[in-house]
Structure 1
């Protein structure tokens, strides 16, 4: 039995500056947290090999700068993504209100073949901050995710490593499913094109 080819999954992480995108990535990949991260300039990425069911996959996690001036990073950055993670800070209502803007930006730039079924995951980060400072309730966030087609939702803390592993497990699984569906669709189209282009194929009418 031949070895199954190694899969590279591209995951884009979007959200306002300061919501903890870099911290979440570093907690997941390196099991580390630092409170002194500098703002990301442009884009940066980390990779991690993980098992999804029986498959070894390499996740390429792309972290973007949340500042408006870096928002249009170009089509090449978004293209080929298998999953998009939208991050907000549960203690910052503006970062939650911006989720739609980030989601729309991704769909425009990445232009996936099937935008209505493209996998998104929403992370409400910084739940380690005291409850009195919280501005977005879990109920409100879940209602938003349901209205967008039941997007998976996790409340996380990069600082305390709460639900980070579980969230990225779902991200990896959804990204792999997307990658496989893209491959299936490409193979199907190739078969259809061969059938119609083949002069020996005759007419099916």
Structure 2
């Protein structure tokens, strides 16, 4: 009797082991699929190039204020750290208020010194963030490619910038140049390309670039795009 029971338990154990091995194999395949990257999609902006405000000029640089906006958790701080310091950490805490960074990039006969303002995405910090829109040359509107809700929030951020700057409009100063950035392209994309294209057009035909701070994808494309547009819009500063 004990021999029969032992045999039954052995068969059950073998079946269980086979099921477990199959489960681990399927999970490994799914994880591998999630690690696929998405190609950078850099479309030329439909807005006119001369609309970019001219940066302030120094002795060996021009100064460009860059404000980073987006829903909480989309990867703004990770993007900024990768761009400014070429570093990445998975445990960055949420930004409290606004963080400030500087990135200097060669451009023609001089340099562009980007003042990068990394703003908090939480609702309670939005009033603080608004104070930093004034004088911006560039606004980077960010969403996460694995979070459709974050793309919807991009419209709110863009409208908020327009309202804030409209209250203090300067007829001699063009509005800031906006770029739409998709973050976390190393993860499985749940935001459809059609939704991104609709948002891009709803915002006036912005340039769109896909990025991954973790892998370093698209960061250089963002920098090169901004440098190119500044040089095209303000050639007298970069001769």
- Note closer, same or farther for the CA distance 1:120–1:11 as it changes in structure 2 (3 Å cut): same
Hey, what does 1:119 align to over in structure 2?
177
For residues 231 and 133 of structure 2, what CA distance do their matches in structure 1 show? 17
Q: How does 1:32-71 map to 2 (within 5 A)?
A: 32-71=87-126
Hey, what does 2:158 align to over in structure 1?
103
Which protein has greater RCO, CA pairs closer than 8 Å, 6+ apart?
Answer: 2
For residues 115 and 174 of structure 2, what CA distance do their matches in structure 1 show? 23
* Count of aligned pairs between the two proteins: 176
Superposed displacement of residue 145, structure 1: 1.2
Q: Is residue 165 of structure 1 aligned with residue 220 of structure 2?
A: yes
For residues 121 and 74 of structure 2, what CA distance do their matches in structure 1 show? 9
Match of 2:64, SS state, is strand
- Note closer, same or farther for the CA distance 1:171–1:51 as it changes in structure 2 (3 Å cut): same
- Note closer, same or farther for the CA distance 1:145–1:93 as it changes in structure 2 (3 Å cut): same
Structure 2 residues not aligned, in runs of 5+: 1-57
Match of 1:142, SS state, is helix
Q: Which string of whole-angstrom CA distances, capped at 9 and with x for unpartnered residues, describes residues 112-147 of structure 1?
A: 5479864100101111013xxx22123321232133
Q: Is residue 78 of structure 1 aligned with residue 133 of structure 2?
A: yes
For residues 9 and 116 of structure 1, what CA distance do their matches in structure 2 show? 14
For residues 68 and 123 of structure 1, what CA distance do their matches in structure 2 show? 20
Q: TM-score, normalised by structure 1?
A: 0.76
Q: TM-score, normalised by structure 2?
A: 0.66
Structure 1 residues not aligned, in runs of 5+: 184-205
For residues 150 and 170 of structure 2, what CA distance do their matches in structure 1 show? 28
Q: Is residue 88 of structure 1 aligned with residue 165 of structure 2?
A: no
